[in-house]
Amino acid sequence: MISMHRRWEAFKGDKIQEIVFTVKKSSIFQLKTALDVFLVSNTDQKVRDFHVEGSYFDRQCTILQGDRVVAEMKREFTMRNELLKNRFAVMVEAGVDCAFIVALVIILDEISTIYETSGEELLKEQFKTRIGDQMVL
């Protein structure tokens, strides 16, 4: 869900009361998207658990846990992909939850879509991003 504070919450399946993590924009004014991710166990949210930097428009982002890169999304450059424009690769470090990374990429896409379609109407939009109980990659 998006709020006046530009906050997104991800839920487990259809269980709205079961928040898995929260995503907040790092600052209000940004040239490139920067998101702070807080796991449900991080109740005071003073220190982020993960950080997302990048741009879905450019088909690239880096997901960090502290200073460690845990995943990267990069656009695949081939002649066929130049025509399709939607092809990209996500590389995830061993031991990192792939469903969690995919959920962050989906949120980044939702944010980009909102900016693209509504501009200043961002604060009026509301949506929910949900994580399914299972995700097959």
| Confidence (pTM) | 0.72
Where are any strands of DSSP class E within the chain?
7-12, 15-25, 33-39, 50-55, 60-65, 68-75, 88-92, 129-131
Tokens of 119: 């501009």
Give the pLDDT mean for 89-93. Answer: 92
CA distance 97 to 103: 10
Higher-confidence position of 58 and 132: 58
CA distance 2 to 26: 14
Nearest to 128 by CA among 10, 7, 40, 5: 10
pLDDT at position 121 over 50: no
Q: Name the one residue in this structure whose structure tokens are 């109740």.
A: 43
What share of the chain in percent tops pLDDT 90? 35
Query: In this predicted structure, what is the pLDDT of residue 77?
Result: 64
Q: Is 24 helix (H, G, I), strand (E, B) or coil?
A: strand
